């Protein structure tokens, strides 16, 4: 059963939404004080959050900003603020959807179901490394880490053409174009460090495969010799 956290200071309205959510086969939970929201999110780890903006002690946008530092849980902002600037601000801080009050409980449930279906599908499909070129970030099965620019460039080169062998010289030209005094040992040292990073991420570091006397390649299918 999906766990839905409603962060809303109007108790009657929160419980009204909770009634619709319960009827749809999901389990609602409630937080009425913004200052308690992050602790409850970490404790409950809900499948989705319905988040009001006008909350006592900590506003919804601050909660959303803090949440995105440690989680990608889908968030539907539920608010009476209807301006385009407010909507854009919400999405910039990590909101997944934006619902303006007043609205029907059935519509909220439909949005929740749609987001859960999309989110679950993305989680199931996320079985490969995902590379974010803008942040030097690598993601695998919902977890992410940031790595140094040389490590990121090596991984990006190898994963662009899986099963293709790259010599150390090719890797040096791609990964260290802005670094003086580069050497073969730099490549080997960085590949070792890259494998450790991938292992910390939960990825099998054997995918970064070494070929004696040849260099390195990225193997998607480890069953192949």
Q: What CATH number did the domain enclosing 97 receive?
A: 3.40.50.2300
Number of structural domains (the chain) is 2
Task: Say which residue the tokens 């601000």 belong to.
Answer: 89
Same domain, 145 and 38: no
| Rounded Cα gap, residues 23 and 11, in angstroms | 18
Same domain, 153 and 80: no
Handedness of CA 7, 8, 14, 17 (dihedral sign): negative
Query: Is 107 within the bounds of a domain?
Result: yes
Same domain, 92 and 142: no
pTM for this entry: 0.56
Of the residues 103, 125, 147, the one at which a domain ends: 125
Is residue 52 within 8 Å of 40, Cβ to Cβ? no
What pLDDT does 177 receive?
A: 60
Cis peptide preceding 102, ω within 30 of 0: yes
Is residue 67 within 8 Å of 89, Cβ to Cβ? no
Of the residues 125, 145, 176, the one at which a domain ends: 125
Same domain, 75 and 163: no
Q: What does the block give as tokens for 177? A: 């174009």
Q: Strand pairing partners for 73?
A: none
Q: What does the block give as tokens for 100? A: 């303006």
CA atoms within 13 A on the CB side of 174: 16
Closest CA to 72 of 137, 17, 164, 21: 137
What pLDDT does 78 receive?
A: 92
Of the residues 125, 154, 185, the one at which a domain ends: 125
Order of strands across the sheet that contains 97-100:
27-31, 3-7, 48-52, 75-79, 97-100
Q: Strand pairing partners for 7?
A: 31, 51
Same domain, 57 and 17: yes
Q: What does the block give as tokens for 169? A: 């010289």
Task: Say which residue the tokens 């890259």 belong to.
Answer: 194
Closest CA to 64 of 102, 84, 38, 33: 38
What pLDDT does 180 receive?
A: 53
Contacts 24+ apart (CB under 8 A), 117-124: 119/47, 119/48, 119/74
Query: Is 223 within the bounds of a domain?
Result: no
| Rounded Cα gap, residues 125 and 81, in angstroms | 35
Determine the structural domain holding residue 57 and report its residue range. 3-125
Query: Is 84 within the bounds of a domain?
Result: yes
For the chain, list residues with pLDDT below 70.
Answer: 119-128, 134, 177-184, 205, 221-225
Number of H helices, E strands in the chain: 8, 10
């Amino acid at each position: 059963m999906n766990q839905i956290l409603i962060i809303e200071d109007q108790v009657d309205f929160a419980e009204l939404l909770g009634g619709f959510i319960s009827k749809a086969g999901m389990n609602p939970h409630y937080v009425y004080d913004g200052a308690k929201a992050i602790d409850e999110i970490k404790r409950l780890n809900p499948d989705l959050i319905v988040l009001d903006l006008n909350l006592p002690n900590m506003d919804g946008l601050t909660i959303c900003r803090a949440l995105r530092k440690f989680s990608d849980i889908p968030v539907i902002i539920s608010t009476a603020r209807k301006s385009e600037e407010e909507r854009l601000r919400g999405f910039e801080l990590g909101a997944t959807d934006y619902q303006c009050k007043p609205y029907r409980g059935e519509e909220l449930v439909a949005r929740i179901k749609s987001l859960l279906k999309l989110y679950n599908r993305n989680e199931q499909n996320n079985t490969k490394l995902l590379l974010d070129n803008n942040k030097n970030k690598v993601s695998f099965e919902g977890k992410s880490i940031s790595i140094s620019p040389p490590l990121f460039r090596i991984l990006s080169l190898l994963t662009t053409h899986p099963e293709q062998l790259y010599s150390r010289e090719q890797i040096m030209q791609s990964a260290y174009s802005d670094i003086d005094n580069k050497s073969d040992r730099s490549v080997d040292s960085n590949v070792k460090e890259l494998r450790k990073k991938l292992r910390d991420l939960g990825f099998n570091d054997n995918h970064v495969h070494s070929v004696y006397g040849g260099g390195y390649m990225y193997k998607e299918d480890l069953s192949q010799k």
